[in-house]
A and B are shown apart, each in its own frame.
Chain A
Amino acid sequence: MLLTCLSVGSAWAGERILALSPHACEMLYAIGAGDEVVGVSEYCDFPDAVKNRPVIANYSRLYHEAALRLKPTLLIASNASLKGLETARQHGALIVVTHPENLQDIFDDLHRLGEQTGHASQATLLVGQLQTRLAEIKAKTDTRHRVFFEVWSDPLMTEAGNSFITQVLDAAGGDNVFSGNNVETMRVNIEAVIRAKPAVIIIPNRSGNIESRKAFWKQWLPTAYVIAINPDLISRPSPRIVEGIAQLQQQLDQIP
Chain B
Amino acid sequence: MENLMHASRLSLQRGDDLLFNNLNLYIRSAEITVILGPNGAGKSSLLLALAGLIPADGDLQLQATAMSEYSRMEIATKVAWQGELPPTEFGLTVKQRLNLASDGEENLIPATKAMEIEALLNRPLAELSSGERQRVELAALMLRPAPIWLLDEPTAHLDIKHQVQCLNMMKKQANAGRAIVTVLHDLQQAMAVADQVVLIDGQGHAEAGPAGQMLDVDRLASLFDTPLIRQGKLLMPEYGDGI
Are chains A and B touching directly in their complex (CB below 8 angstroms)? no
